[in-house]
Amino acid sequence: MTSRFISPAPSRRTVVKAAAVGAVAVPVLAGAASPALAATGATAFLHGVASGDPLPDGVLLWTRVTPAPEAVPGSGLGPDVRVDWELAEDRSFTRVVATGATTASATSDHTVKADVRGLRPATAYWFRFRVGDTVSPAGRTRTAPALDDAAPGVRFGVVSCANWEAGHFAAYRHLAARPDLDAILHLGDYLYEYGSGVYPKAAHGVRAHEPRHEIVSLADYRVRHATYKTDPDLQALHAAHPFVAIWDDHEFANDAWTGGAENHTPGTEGDWAARVTAAKQAYFEWMPVRTSTEGTVFRRLRFGRLADLHLLDLRSFRSAQAKTGSGSVDDPERTLTGRAQLDWLKAGLAGSDAAWQLVGTSVMISPVAFGSLPAHLLEPIAELMGLPKEGLAVNVDQWDGYTDDRRELLTHLTSRAIRNTVFLTGDIHMAWANDVPVKAATYPFSGSAATEFVVTSVTSDNLDDLLGVAPGTVSVVATGAVRAANRHVKWVDMDHHGYGVLDVTTERAQMDYYTVSDKRDPAATTSWERSYRTLSGTQRVERVYQPVR
């Protein structure tokens, strides 16, 4: 399912950006074996199980084995071990339908994957792994509808931006408890690369990253991935639903582009290309996505005739970010997607017979301008949006910084009469519901080419965090100014953390937005905040006054 239409292409994000089902392994520190393991030397599954990239006839299974006390993540130590897996139609594994074996070795940090095929479409399965007498927790997964099936609906949990130090992953726990999801769509920033106490500052953190320093090497990235996968809520989510994941910048370094990043110093942190290679290797080892020989995550998954899901890689091929406010944002020689990926996306959109075109994009495609803001709000909003403190109206790390790519894509949608395109976005630690205007300056008279639903962060800082106030204290002024200057923005929430649930039928695509009560509380509750939908054929979003049941 990974596209091979990749060719070398020419080639900011600031610290923040633009306005259970199944058993769970006992979590331990990623860099140390559990006391029991150290005492007995027994094999253990300390990082849970996962599945991903569902197809009509298959799904990818994942786990990580700790075969010996010394085989901690990133160590390069530990023996090779045979890992058996089985997949069944029932949780008790009395109806096993597929089995197999693979080898866990230090060369892949003792992670293993099994790409299981020959399964029935739109079917739930249970899976587990075994090393000798040691059995992993069981996970549940689900295949996609048949390619030509008129599927009545598909439902995704949608998340992004989960900073380990900024809070607990209660949002993941609540999604894990939902039995009605077909998959989890993770839109990037699954982890963060910063050293401990950098973002947020140590006084505001709830737990420390491992390793404590900024991650640069292959071992560093492996340990950071492993740390995240000791979180019980993340383990529960992986065990409950298949993941469909793309990366953004923090899987590498802040504001990454093809030749570097804002948070990379070649003189002290080595060669950028080597760092990217290490980050990608660890990502493909530790994430339940099919490994790409081209080193990218752009690919396409189909959910019957209901929806094609086009997943983008907006870090591997992009040009360097322009200077904020510079006219070079319009330079046609600069690119966000790379030529080959943009052509692949355009061809896939034009050639699809699905009722809906869902585009997973790690950064916001809708343009954003600023109206008048009071001084005490301008600085934190500028930080969130990646703007200079003077408030110039462009976020150069997003599609706003690569307007020629956006113009070409939106022109393609309108000229080819491609309807029902919905962009699904993370990245900016706020929730948005937008029309994507053909020309923002004349909207709504010039119409919209698509719609966009942006989910807020799981834990990463947003407006209330930056200001140190309760949610909703000051955002009414800021959101009013943003909407006044951007008539295509139907709603924005700058305060809360949480997740989305996208429900798609032939008649509409609806995003239900949920918030958590307190990201710092591991027992945080969740509540529905708002819902927006786009009806088939309209290219407009509208508010709905109850979530999908």
Kindly report the number of other CB atoms within 10 A of residue 388's CB atom. 11
Which option is the CATH number for 20-295: 3.30.1330.10, 2.60.40.380, 3.40.718.10, 1.10.10.1100?
A: 2.60.40.380
The ranges of the chain annotated as CATH 3.60.21.70 are: 317-494+536-549
Using DSSP's 3-state secondary structure scheme, residue 101 falls into strand
pTM of full prediction above 0.75:
yes
| pLDDT reported for residue 442 | 87
pLDDT in tens, the chain (549 residues): 333 333 333 232 322 332 233 333 333 334 444 444 444 567 899 999 999 999 999 999 999 999 999 999 999 999 999 999 999 999 999 999 999 999 999 999 999 999 999 999 999 999 999 999 999 999 999 999 999 999 999 999 999 999 999 999 999 999 999 999 999 999 999 999 999 999 999 999 999 999 999 999 999 999 999 999 999 999 999 999 999 999 999 999 999 999 999 999 998 999 999 999 999 999 999 999 999 889 999 999 999 999 999 999 999 999 999 987 667 888 999 999 999 999 999 999 999 999 999 999 999 999 988 665 555 565 676 666 555 443 344 588 999 999 999 999 999 999 999 999 999 999 999 999 999 999 988 899 989 999 999 999 999 998 888 878 777 777 777 788 888 889 999 999 999 999 999 999 999 999 999 999 999 999 999 999 999 999 999 999 999 999 998
Q: What is the CATH number of domain 317-494+536-549?
A: 3.60.21.70
Distances (CA, A) of 58 to 52, 61, 124, 279, 433: 10, 10, 11, 27, 33
Q: CA–CA separation, 198 vs 384, rounded Å?
A: 16
Burial grade of 323 (CB within 10 A; 0-12, 13-18, 19 or more): middle
Residues 6+ apart with CB under 8 A from 451: 421, 422, 423, 433, 434, 435, 436, 509, 534, 539, 540, 541
Angle between helix 475-485 and 375-385 (nearest 10): 70
DSSP tag of 126? E
Which stretches of 352-474 are DSSP H helices?
Answer: 375-385, 403-415, 463-467
| pLDDT reported for residue 369 | 80
Question: Cβ(210)–Cβ(227) under 8 Å?
Answer: yes
Burial annotation 519-535 (CB, 10 A radius, 16+ → b, else e): bbebebebeebbbbbbe
The ranges of the chain annotated as CATH 2.60.40.380 are: 20-295
| pLDDT reported for residue 22 | 33
Question: Cβ(31)–Cβ(72) under 8 Å?
Answer: yes
